[in-house]
Structure formats: structure tokens, C-alpha cells
């Protein structure tokens, strides 16, 4: 079909963009989805210096690469999380962490997410992918006893935190695409619906569809696309593998990714439980024409091998919907 094939740079932030761009082209990608960490795309520099924005394009264009989206997951996580702690300090630059006061961190990160929309506009892309954090993730298990009113209040709080940010996205004509994910305000079909309702279905807010986060929740990722066809603003191609054997737990057992005792783990595209055919057919039903962006994560595989193999896998399995019925010719004279 020829959907744009991009590589999300978040897992490659240890490499300077100039080095990664050359590698990505050699791996077989058409473009990059630039992460707002490492030196790949720095929001503050983009807003302060026109030459910085041009420098990003110079690197991309030198290697024949496109960019249609940037991503700011790490900062977005800190906007709505109920607890701000050492985990957040690890993922934030010092200028946003400041003295670590929770309210201050949230406020600075909210402003940064608004500025990300402004930087995206200046850069010439109209989608920002990311996380939101969640005021209620810690209430997931419903014990100690958790009332519906407590959950509803969390969605109201989320909307109060994000609506002013999304006002800026509307103002500059950029869309924010939440990657539904455990620890976010939306992590499955029902919480995604509740999130849209909390925001009154505003146009600026949609989803970065990533099937890997649904597979280990044991529901069909394609059903998410079918539920929200008009809200799929961007797509990650990423796989995960469920390894339940009556010993390992689906909850992950507080074990890090790559530990063989986990009940599930992220794996390279085509090595897990993702039904790529079903996903592409659902995207075709939704008339999605945006990029397919490989987010490569696999603790058991060399990443350059995996990124190269993933590019070939996605290209092989992407196809257009038919514009005719297959049996239409049967009626010809």
C-alpha cells in the first residue's frame, strides 16, 4: 500500500540523531518519528532557535527521511500522575524537575506539553504522540475499597489538567495522540471511551494506536481500532508475547522487561502474538492513511537486526483495501 514507514527514535536516544538517521535509512525506513529526548528533538531549543528546527530537517533530508510526528511521552506522563517521585526524576530534564515539588513538576510539564504543540507546528508536523499519566492508576485493583465516585473524580481531574493544554493544540492546529498504555488515564477500550467523554470528544485529542499494550491485557487490538476509527491519529507497530504456563503471572511479578519469569514481554515485530493481518484490515476499515511507526523493543534481540527485520516485516504485511468486490468480474459477459 505504501503507508509511510517510520522508526520511533525513543529507544535509540543514546545515539545522536545524525548517527541514527543514517542507520534508519540503511535499515529500510522512510522516516523517523522523533522523540523529544536525547538530542533528537528538544522542545525548548526548537522554540528559541529557528536554526535548530532547520538542523533537524537538514539531518533528515540528507538521508532522504521524512517526519510527520514527534513524541513527548516522558514529559506527558508527569502531568497527571497522582504521585511524583524518583521514577519521574529519572525521565525529566533538570529544568522540568526543578526542586521536585509535585505540583511544580506537574505545572512545568503541562506547560512543556503545550509548548510541544507550538514546537511541532514550527517544525511542520501536526501530530504529537505521548502519555498523559493518570490520577487513578494506583486504584486499578479496586482494593482498598474504591468507589465509582473516586474514579469519576479522577477523570474530572485529568480533564481539568489537560483541557488547557489541548486548547493550545487547537490554537495551533496540532493533534495530541495518547498512546493507551497501563499507567495512563486510558489503557483499554472502556477507559479510552471514558477519557473521550471526559474531554467531550474534542478534536484535538485522539490515540496513538499501539497493539503491544493490548495483547497482554488479552483483548484483540483490532477491536480498539473498530471502536475508535475516527480517533486513530497515529500508529505504532510493536509486538508482545504472552507466556502463561500456570507458573508465570500476567501481572509481571515486579520483574523487569527481559526477565524470563515474566508472564508477558515485548518482542520484535512478528515474534509475538500480534495478528498483523487483522490490524491492517482494521486500519483499512478506518481509512487510516498515516504512518506505520515501528517502536522497537525486544530485550532478547540485537536492536539493529530487529529494526531491519521489522522494517521488512511491516512493508511485507501492509496492504491497501480493495476498491472492488473480488467476485465483481463473475457477472461480466
pLDDT tens track for 213-235: 999 999 999 999 999 999 999 99
Residue 96 lies in a domain: yes
Q: Per-residue pLDDT averaged across 7-19, rounded?
A: 98
SS3 state at 135? coil
The CATH number of the domain holding residue 109 is 3.20.20.150
Exposed/middle/buried for residue 149 (C-beta within 10 Å: 0-12, 13-18, 19+): exposed
Query: Does residue 329 fall inside a structural domain?
Result: no
Does residue 287 lie in a domain region? yes
Q: Is residue 41 part of a domain?
A: yes
- Long-range contact list for 190-193, CB < 8 A, 24+ apart? 192/224, 192/227, 192/228, 193/227
Torsion of Cα atoms, 230 then 113 then 150 then 250, to 10°: 70
Inside any domain, residue 332: no
Domain count, the chain: 1
Residues with Cβ within 8 Å of residue 33, at least 6 apart in sequence: 6, 7, 8, 9, 67, 68, 69, 70, 71, 129, 234, 291, 293
Instruction: Judge whether 212 lies within some domain.
Output: yes
pLDDT tens-digit profile of 97-152? Answer: 999 999 999 999 999 999 999 999 999 999 999 999 999 999 999 999 999 999 99
**Would you give the DSSP letter of residue 82?**
S
**What are the pLDDT digits (tens) for 27-63?**
999 999 999 999 999 999 999 999 999 999 999 999 9
pLDDT above 90 (res 332): no
Q: CA 129, CA 71: separation in Å to the nearest integer?
A: 4
243-289 pLDDT per residue, tens: 999 999 999 999 999 999 999 999 999 999 999 999 999 999 999 99
Whether 333 maps to a domain, the answer reads no
CB 213 within 8 A of CB 179: yes
Whether the per-residue pLDDT at 329 is higher than 90: the answer is no
- 3-class DSSP assignment, residue 128: strand
What b/e sequence results for 21-32 when a residue is b if at least 16 CB atoms lie within 10 Å of its CB, and e otherwise?
bebbbebbbbbb
Written as nine digits, the cell of 167 is: 486548547
Is the link from the previous residue into 159 a cis peptide, with omega within 30 of 0?
A: no
Contact present, 269 and 294 (Cβ < 8 Å) = yes
Pick the closest to residue 295 from 2, 5, 9 (CA basis). Answer: 9
In a domain, 48, yes or no: yes
Domain that holds residue 186: 5-324
**Residues found in the chain:** 333
Q: Do residues 185 and 132 lie in contact, with contact meaning Cβ atoms separated by under 8 Å? A: yes
CA quadruple 20, 22, 27, 28: dihedral, nearest 10:
120
Answer yes or no: are the C-beta atoms of 174 and 116 closer than 8 Å: no
Q: Which cell numbers in the block locate residue 44? A: 525548548
Does residue 2 surpass a pLDDT of 70?
yes
The enclosing H or E element of 122 equals helix 102-123
Is residue 19 predicted with pLDDT exceeding 60? yes
Cα–Cα distance measured from residue 261 to residue 120, given in angstroms and rounded to the nearest whole number: 41
Amino acid at each position: 500500500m505504501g503507508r509511510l514507514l517510520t522508526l520511533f527514535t525513543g529507544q535509540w536516544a543514546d545515539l545522536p540523531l545524525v548517527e541514527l538517521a543514517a542507520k534508519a535509512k540503511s535499515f529500510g525506513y522512510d522516516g523517523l518519528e522523533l522523540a523529544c529526548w536525547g538530542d533528537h528533538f528538544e522542545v525548548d531549543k526548537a522554540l528559541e532557535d529557528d536554526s535548530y528546527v532547520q538542523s533537524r530537517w537538514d539531518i533528515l533530508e540528507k538521508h532522504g527521511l521524512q517526519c510527520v510526528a514527534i513524541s513527548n511521552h516522558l514529559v506527558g506522563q508527569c502531568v497527571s500522575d497522582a504521585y511524583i517521585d524518583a521514577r519521574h526524576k529519572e525521565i525529566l530534564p533538570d529544568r522540568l524537575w526543578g526542586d521536585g515539588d509535585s505540583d511544580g513538576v506537574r505545572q512545568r510539564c503541562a506547560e512543556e506539553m503545550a509548548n510541544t504543540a507550538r514546537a511541532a507546528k514550527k517544525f511542520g508536523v501536526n501530530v504529537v504522540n505521548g502519555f498523559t499519566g493518570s490520577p487513578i492508576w494506583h486504584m486499578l485493583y479496586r482494593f482498598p475499597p474504591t468507589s465509582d465516585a473516586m474514579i469519576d473524580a479522577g477523570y474530572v481531574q485529568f480533564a481539568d489538567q489537560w483541557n488547557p493544554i489541548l486548547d493550545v493544540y487547537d490554537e495551533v492546529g496540532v493533534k495530541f495522540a495518547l498512546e493507551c498504555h497501563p499507567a495512563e488515564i486510558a489503557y483499554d477500550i472502556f477507559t479510552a471511551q471514558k477519557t473521550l467523554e471526559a474531554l467531550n470528544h474534542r478534536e484535538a485529542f485522539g490515540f496513538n494506536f499501539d497493539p503491544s499494550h493490548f495483547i497482554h491485557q488479552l483483548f484483540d487490538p483490532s477491536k480498539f481500532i473498530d471502536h475508535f476509527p475516527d480517533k486513530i491519529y497515529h500508529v505504532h507497530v510493536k509486538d508482545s508475547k504472552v507466556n502463561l504456563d500456570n507458573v508465570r503471572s500476567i501481572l509481571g511479578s515486579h520483574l523487569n522487561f527481559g526477565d524470563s519469569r515474566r508472564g508477558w514481554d515485548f518482542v520484535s515485530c512478528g515474534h509475538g502474538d500480534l495478528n498483523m493481518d487483522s490490524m491492517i484490515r482494521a486500519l483499512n476499515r478506518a481509512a487510516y492513511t498515516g504512518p506505520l511507526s515501528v517502536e522497537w523493543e525486544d530485550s532478547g534481540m540485537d536492536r539493529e537486526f530487529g529494526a531491519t527485520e521489522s522494517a521488512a516485516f511491516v512493508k511485507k504485511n501492509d496492504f491497501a483495501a480493495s476498491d472492488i468486490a473480488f467476485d465483481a468480474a463473475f457477472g461480466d459477459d
